[in-house]
Structure 1
């Protein structure tokens, strides 16, 4: 009977103390989601584009504005310093112009329901190019894991043939 009492005491102690460990959820970055439709004007079409008016409609709500276009860039890997056990030291990268133009249309909300985007282009010689329209579904991903919430992004590419969803 004495053995049973000792085993019972040890078991209860193990059960009760295991619940005392603090729970540390996985950390999430303090990053707010931007509710925008981002537009990239392809490098081969960008020299001909002076301005873009973008209209986006989703869930019965539309937003329209002339975009402020700025030069696009790409990231160039500059490698990592080698340490005594391999590339375990400082790594770096830089941005380099890639010939594209970028712009963003701010929205009140952004969901993963289908969206209609219309682009009206003004060329560098002042002509208006016929309106281009695209219907697509913004992408939602758990970029930092399911515990950190879902990020929805809407991005399109404009080239001489029209609009397409960014890959």
Structure 2
């Protein structure tokens, strides 16, 4: 009787231990937008009424007048004792525009921003050649996301550092 009980206990223990093996990390099912995003800085946004973007990569160009939406930044709301954390979005004076593309690769890209100032005259055209950056926001096991995120200010177009892109 004791041997049968010992065998059953051993089988149950072995099953439970094997079920506690390493668990793979879950990756979010989020599709990447193939786009160029331009953020007009808060101190320059009042100088930009309309924006036109032209992006060229791998011999293909796309251009369009793009909508300027109010930008925002995340404000930390803290964490509860149970470990649940939250943040809220707050307007930050920037304007954000997105030009959707058919594809986005890591090869060099040229983007030109033009448009108008509030009185309707032409905004100085600004051009930047850069390489979209590969980011791993959910870890390397979840694959890379390509980022073509630029900033427009009085000095011209600049590629956003990875630390700014992570903030959204």
Deviation at 1:122?
0.6
Which residue matches 1:148?
142
Cα RMSD between the aligned structures? 1.9
Q: Which residue of 1 aligns with 2:15?
A: none
Higher helix proportion (structure 1 or 2): 2
Aligned to 1:31: 30
TM-score in terms of structure 1 length: 0.80
For the residues of structure 1 that align with 2:67 and 2:160, how far apart are their CA atoms?
A: 19
Number of corresponding residues = 144
Alpha-carbon deviations, 1:53-76, whole Å to 9, x = none? 000000111010111011000111
Deviates more, 1:127-136 or 1:143-152: 143-152
What is the aligned partner in structure 2 of residue 73 from structure 1?
72
Q: CA deviation at 1:25?
A: 3.8
Deviation at 1:80, TM superposition (A): 1.6
Secondary structure of the structure 2 residue equivalent to 1:124: coil
Query: Which runs of 5 or more residues in structure 1 are unaligned?
Result: 1-19
Q: Distance in 2 between matches of 1:146 and 1:77?
A: 26
**Counterpart check, 1:126 vs 2:120:** yes
- Tell me the alpha carbon deviations over residues 75-131 of structure 1, each in whole angstroms, 9 at most, x when there is no partner: 1111122x3xxxx33322111110000010000000111100000021011010221
How far apart, in 2, do the equivalents of 1:25 and 1:122 lie?
51
| Aligned mate of 2:87, from 64, 69, 93 | 93
Question: Please, what TM-score do these two structures have when normalized by structure 2?
Answer: 0.79
In structure 2, runs of 5+ residues without a counterpart are 1-17, 162-168
Q: Shift of the alpha carbon at 1:23?
A: 8.3
